[in-house]
Amino acid sequence: MFPLRQRNFKALKKTVFPALRSLIDLGYFSLSVEGAEHVPRSGPVVYAGNHAGWFTIDSFFAALAVAEHVSFDRIPWVAGQDQMLMIPELGPFFADSGVFPSSWLRKPEALPPGMDVLCVFPEGTEGNCKSFVHAYQMREWKTGFLRLALARGAKVLPVSVLGSEECLPSIAPIRFLKPIVGTILPLPLSLIPLPSRWKFIFHEPVDVQGALPGFDSDDPETQKRRLRDLAASIRETVQRTLDREAADRGLVRLSKLLKQSG
């Protein structure tokens, strides 16, 4: 079993949340939430949503949204890049805030029982490294979040996130360094967070066990197919909402113009 990390809520309460709230109150950011009633107040749950922005600021906005509209104990542990957690100073800060290595998801049954509220970005690094030209167009979802939910007996809570694309946009993914650093990297368009309208839309939870009856009896290939189909269905729920909610955003209009001119 992996060691249970201790989250430093004091750092979130005294540093991160006040900083974000101050910028919201000043009008630099805005933050709204829909569907908070869909967040399970007890029991294991896996948040799964779109991921964008070259720095994982969306995780902190998500934590603030959950803290203010649901409760502190529903703030999820977040799967993050192993490489990010190795960065001096920054890595320990993320770990204290509840980020754990995504490599742990290879053995979801080994996660400590205390980590029962989790967040996974099924696009992986392809999501937050993609170019702003593809704003709010998600990459393919991997199925690890469903295997995690099955192993934990958890429901999946789909989340549509708006604001991350505009806040820290990426020009393009940097792929040639992957053999050296172990992951693709984003090429930032701006080194500082840009003014952005954040919105979190929580959808109705998905009972993964109920959606996959007889899963344990299936052969491996059938299991993979059923997981891919369910992941695609949940992804479509999130994408439809992004299409509707982001249609009037300037970055989306710009990306359409760039695609047409290209």
The pLDDT score that the predictor gives to residue 32 is: 98
Per-residue pLDDT of 222-260, as tens digits, reads: 999 999 999 999 999 999 999 999 999 999 998 888 777
* 129 domain-assigned: yes
| Domain count for the chain | 1
Contact 39, 202 (CB under 8 A): yes
- Judge residue 260's burial from the number of C-beta atoms within 10 Å of its C-beta, 0-12 exposed, 13-18 middle, 19 or more buried: exposed
Per-residue pLDDT of 66-106, as tens digits, reads: 999 999 999 999 998 888 888 888 888 888 888 999 999 99
Domain span at 145: 9-261
* 3 domain-assigned: no
* 66 domain-assigned: yes
Per-residue pLDDT of 168-178, as tens digits, reads: 999 999 999 89
* 54 domain-assigned: yes
pLDDT band with cut points at 50, 70 and 90 for residue 182: confident
Is pTM beyond 0.85? Reply is yes
What CATH number should be reported for the domain holding residue 205? Answer: 3.40.1130
* 190 domain-assigned: yes
